[in-house]
Amino acid sequence: MLTPDRISLNTATIKMQWSLAEAIEGCARHGFGGIGPWRDKLQEMGVEPAARAIRDAGLRVSGLCRGGWYTGEGKLTQVVLDDNLRAVDEATGIGAECLVMVVGGLPPGSRDIDGARSMIEDGLVMTLEYARSAGMPVAIEPLHPMYAGDRACVNTTGQALDICDRLGEGIGVALDVYHIWWDPEIREQIRRAGKERLLGFHICDWLVPTQDILEDRGMMGDGVADIPGLRAEVEAAGFTGLNEVEIFSAGNWWKRDPDDVLRTIVERGRTSC
């Protein structure tokens, strides 16, 4: 049972329907505890107006999506590194509880996954140095292995925590049910992460069958992921952040009235989380 004040709305969930300003109002209207904006929506509204509107609505910012993408240009270019510094500034500007990192997949044309992984770690080191000085926690989001080719070569919670172990303070993980539900080691890895490094928790459901690996996530209760079980684990490990609902759904939820989407989230929080 999850009450709306324990829920945050990741703006990807209503990205086709609402601007950030509309999403902030929607969250307040439905009694949500927070919001998790994506940078495109944030930049569209402007960091200062967004920060003001979020504050006025009494919402927490569970995280800013997303920094990372270190492999996007085949090497760590200044453009990529600067964009990550900007992401830290934006996260700080809206009082985000962490900056979520989707670290990047294989560089275009590459077959060198080990090389991509070391490029990612080098990039994280550089972003982390700046993020530490800004007091902004950096959260690696491990992505399901099916995204290793094009989105993220960090694919398990264990792998993400190995990076955290090497990099030290100021970095942890954002765990997304969509990406972690299948992992036989997930429970021990959540305990290993501990309170300090559990920076974000994203929820949705895994549909059977999944029609599209990117844009066919399910509403909580419509799939096969053990959301209550995973939530119990992160909370037992000390996580006190919000449950950020992140549903990419081209065929279903993106086509609906966004107020209906938020009403459904509130209801499923009660019945399926």
Binding site for Zn ion (CB under 5 A): 176, 202, 246
Q: Between residues 176 and 233, which has the closer beta carbon with respect to Zn ion?
A: 176
Task: Give the Cα separation of 202 and 42 in Å (integer).
Answer: 19
And the tokens for 88?
Answer: 């830290």
Q: Between residues 49 and 224, which has the closer beta carbon with respect to Zn ion?
A: 224
Amino acid at 211: Q
Min dist. Cβ of residue 133 to Zn ion (A): 26
Min dist. Cβ of residue 225 to Zn ion (A): 13
Say whether the peptide bond before residue 270 is cis (omega within 30 degrees of 0): no
What is the full DSSP assignment across 253-271? GGGS-HHHHHHHHHHHHHH
In the chain, alpha helices (H): 20-29, 39-45, 47-56, 78-93, 113-134, 157-167, 177-180, 186-197, 227-236, 258-272
Residue 161 has φ and ψ, to the nearest 5°, of: -70, -30
Q: Between residues 88 and 143, which has the closer beta carbon with respect to Zn ion?
A: 143
Enumerate residues 6+ apart whose C-beta is below 8 A from 263. 30
And the tokens for 3?
Answer: 């009450």
Min dist. Cβ of residue 78 to Zn ion (A): 27
What is the full DSSP assignment across 84-121? HHHHHHHHHHTTBS-EEEE-B-SPTT---HHHHHHHHH
The single-letter DSSP state of residue 238 is: T
Q: Between residues 117 and 202, which has the closer beta carbon with respect to Zn ion?
A: 202
Q: Between residues 133 and 205, which has the closer beta carbon with respect to Zn ion?
A: 205
Cβ atoms of 46 and 39 within 8 Å: the answer is no
Q: Between residues 205 and 246, which has the closer beta carbon with respect to Zn ion?
A: 246
Min dist. Cβ of residue 246 to Zn ion (A): 5
Min dist. Cβ of residue 139 to Zn ion (A): 10
Min dist. Cβ of residue 4 to Zn ion (A): 19
Q: Between residues 176 and 205, which has the closer beta carbon with respect to Zn ion?
A: 176
Min dist. Cβ of residue 88 to Zn ion (A): 19
Task: Give the Cα separation of 216 and 204 in Å (integer).
Answer: 10
